[in-house]
Amino acid sequence: MIRVMRHDDIQALHEGFKAQGWHKPVSLFEGYLKDQETGIRTVWVAEKDGRVLGYGTLLHKAAEGPFAGRYPMIIDLNVLQADQGKGTGTALMAALETQAKTMADAVVLALGMHPGYGHAQRLYVKRGYVPDGSGLWYQGRPLPEHEKAVNDDDLVLHLIKDV
Protein backbone atom coordinates (compact mmCIF):
# COMPACT_ATOMS: atom_id res chain seq x y z
CA MET A 1 0.00 0.00 0.00
CA ILE A 2 1.26 3.50 -0.85
CA ARG A 3 -0.11 6.23 1.41
CA VAL A 4 0.70 9.67 2.77
CA MET A 5 3.08 9.77 5.73
CA ARG A 6 1.68 9.81 9.27
CA HIS A 7 3.37 10.80 12.52
CA ASP A 8 3.71 7.17 13.62
CA ASP A 9 5.86 6.46 10.53
CA ILE A 10 8.71 8.62 11.83
CA GLN A 11 10.13 6.11 14.29
CA ALA A 12 9.50 3.12 12.01
CA LEU A 13 11.38 4.76 9.13
CA HIS A 14 14.25 5.85 11.37
CA GLU A 15 14.64 2.38 12.91
CA GLY A 16 14.29 0.54 9.60
CA PHE A 17 17.06 2.50 7.92
CA LYS A 18 19.24 2.54 11.06
CA ALA A 19 19.09 -1.28 11.19
CA GLN A 20 20.73 -1.44 7.77
CA GLY A 21 23.37 1.17 8.63
CA TRP A 22 21.83 4.19 6.87
CA HIS A 23 21.81 7.49 8.74
CA LYS A 24 18.21 8.77 8.57
CA PRO A 25 17.68 10.73 11.82
CA VAL A 26 14.28 11.22 13.41
CA SER A 27 14.69 14.96 12.80
CA LEU A 28 14.74 14.35 9.02
CA PHE A 29 11.33 12.70 9.11
CA GLU A 30 9.97 15.24 11.59
CA GLY A 31 11.00 17.97 9.14
CA TYR A 32 9.38 16.15 6.25
CA LEU A 33 6.14 15.79 8.20
CA LYS A 34 6.20 19.49 9.10
CA ASP A 35 6.74 20.34 5.40
CA GLN A 36 3.79 18.11 4.55
CA GLU A 37 1.58 19.81 7.12
CA THR A 38 2.46 23.24 5.71
CA GLY A 39 1.95 22.19 2.08
CA ILE A 40 5.59 22.42 0.96
CA ARG A 41 5.99 18.70 0.21
CA THR A 42 4.16 15.42 0.31
CA VAL A 43 5.74 12.29 1.74
CA TRP A 44 4.55 8.96 0.36
CA VAL A 45 5.17 5.80 2.39
CA ALA A 46 5.15 2.19 1.17
CA GLU A 47 3.70 -0.26 3.66
CA LYS A 48 3.00 -3.98 3.57
CA ASP A 49 1.34 -5.95 6.37
CA GLY A 50 1.81 -3.01 8.74
CA ARG A 51 5.55 -2.78 8.04
CA VAL A 52 7.07 0.32 6.46
CA LEU A 53 9.15 -0.54 3.37
CA GLY A 54 10.30 2.88 2.19
CA TYR A 55 9.30 6.42 1.31
CA GLY A 56 9.63 9.17 -1.27
CA THR A 57 9.00 12.89 -1.09
CA LEU A 58 7.62 15.35 -3.61
CA LEU A 59 8.68 18.94 -3.09
CA HIS A 60 5.82 20.90 -4.64
CA LYS A 61 8.26 23.38 -6.25
CA ALA A 62 11.93 22.57 -6.82
CA ALA A 63 14.04 24.64 -4.43
CA GLU A 64 17.29 24.34 -6.40
CA GLY A 65 18.75 23.27 -9.69
CA PRO A 66 17.84 24.32 -13.21
CA PHE A 67 14.09 24.08 -12.55
CA ALA A 68 13.93 25.88 -9.19
CA GLY A 69 10.44 27.24 -8.59
CA ARG A 70 9.06 25.81 -11.85
CA TYR A 71 8.28 22.13 -11.39
CA PRO A 72 7.63 19.66 -8.57
CA MET A 73 10.76 17.74 -7.58
CA ILE A 74 11.13 14.19 -6.34
CA ILE A 75 13.60 14.16 -3.47
CA ASP A 76 14.84 11.38 -1.21
CA LEU A 77 13.30 8.16 -2.52
CA ASN A 78 14.48 5.24 -0.38
CA VAL A 79 13.44 1.61 -0.03
CA LEU A 80 14.81 -0.68 2.64
CA GLN A 81 17.44 -2.96 1.12
CA ALA A 82 15.51 -6.12 1.96
CA ASP A 83 12.54 -4.79 -0.02
CA GLN A 84 14.40 -3.53 -3.09
CA GLY A 85 13.78 -5.20 -6.43
CA LYS A 86 10.19 -6.08 -5.53
CA GLY A 87 8.36 -3.12 -7.11
CA THR A 88 8.27 -0.88 -4.05
CA GLY A 89 10.31 1.91 -5.65
CA THR A 90 8.20 1.68 -8.79
CA ALA A 91 4.99 1.99 -6.76
CA LEU A 92 6.35 4.99 -4.87
CA MET A 93 7.41 6.64 -8.14
CA ALA A 94 3.93 6.12 -9.58
CA ALA A 95 2.36 7.88 -6.59
CA LEU A 96 4.87 10.75 -6.77
CA GLU A 97 4.34 11.20 -10.52
CA THR A 98 0.55 11.03 -10.22
CA GLN A 99 0.62 13.83 -7.66
CA ALA A 100 3.13 15.85 -9.71
CA LYS A 101 0.77 15.66 -12.69
CA THR A 102 -1.82 17.61 -10.69
CA MET A 103 0.71 20.44 -10.26
CA ALA A 104 2.59 20.75 -13.57
CA ASP A 105 3.25 19.13 -16.93
CA ALA A 106 6.65 17.78 -15.82
CA VAL A 107 8.44 16.48 -12.74
CA VAL A 108 12.18 16.74 -12.02
CA LEU A 109 14.77 15.08 -9.81
CA ALA A 110 18.49 15.20 -9.09
CA LEU A 111 20.23 11.84 -9.55
CA GLY A 112 23.41 10.97 -7.70
CA MET A 113 26.27 9.67 -9.83
CA HIS A 114 28.09 7.26 -7.51
CA PRO A 115 27.36 3.50 -7.48
CA GLY A 116 25.19 3.82 -4.36
CA TYR A 117 22.55 5.30 -6.66
CA GLY A 118 22.70 2.39 -9.10
CA HIS A 119 19.17 1.11 -8.41
CA ALA A 120 17.77 4.65 -8.72
CA GLN A 121 19.71 5.31 -11.93
CA ARG A 122 18.16 2.26 -13.58
CA LEU A 123 14.67 2.94 -12.20
CA TYR A 124 14.54 6.54 -13.40
CA VAL A 125 15.75 5.72 -16.92
CA LYS A 126 13.23 2.89 -17.20
CA ARG A 127 10.47 5.33 -16.14
CA GLY A 128 11.36 7.78 -18.91
CA TYR A 129 13.44 10.41 -17.12
CA VAL A 130 16.01 12.19 -19.32
CA PRO A 131 18.85 14.61 -18.57
CA ASP A 132 17.77 18.23 -18.72
CA GLY A 133 20.90 19.24 -20.67
CA SER A 134 22.56 21.36 -17.98
CA GLY A 135 25.31 18.80 -17.33
CA LEU A 136 26.57 17.70 -13.95
CA TRP A 137 25.94 19.83 -10.88
CA TYR A 138 28.12 19.83 -7.78
CA GLN A 139 27.14 21.29 -4.42
CA GLY A 140 24.09 23.00 -5.88
CA ARG A 141 25.66 24.66 -8.92
CA PRO A 142 26.53 23.65 -12.48
CA LEU A 143 29.95 22.02 -12.69
CA PRO A 144 32.03 23.92 -15.25
CA GLU A 145 33.93 22.02 -17.91
CA HIS A 146 37.35 20.77 -16.70
CA GLU A 147 36.52 21.51 -13.03
CA LYS A 148 37.16 18.69 -10.60
CA ALA A 149 34.58 17.35 -8.18
CA VAL A 150 34.25 14.56 -5.66
CA ASN A 151 31.90 11.73 -6.58
CA ASP A 152 29.79 12.07 -3.45
CA ASP A 153 26.11 12.73 -2.81
CA ASP A 154 26.55 16.33 -4.02
CA LEU A 155 27.47 15.32 -7.59
CA VAL A 156 24.16 15.05 -9.48
CA LEU A 157 22.59 15.03 -12.90
CA HIS A 158 19.20 16.74 -13.17
CA LEU A 159 16.50 14.73 -14.94
CA ILE A 160 13.04 15.65 -16.16
CA LYS A 161 9.96 13.72 -17.26
CA ASP A 162 6.74 14.91 -18.84
CA VAL A 163 3.75 13.76 -16.80
Has domain 2-162 been given CATH number 3.40.630.30? yes
User: What pTM was computed for the model?
Assistant: 0.92
**What integer pLDDT is reported at residue 82 of this predicted model?**
86
Which residues are CB-contacts of 160 (< 8 A; sequence separation ≥ 6)?
67, 71, 106, 107, 108, 129, 130, 132
* Average pLDDT of the chain, as a whole number: 95
**Per-residue pLDDT at 110 exceeds 90:** yes
Give the model's pLDDT for residue 81.
Answer: 87
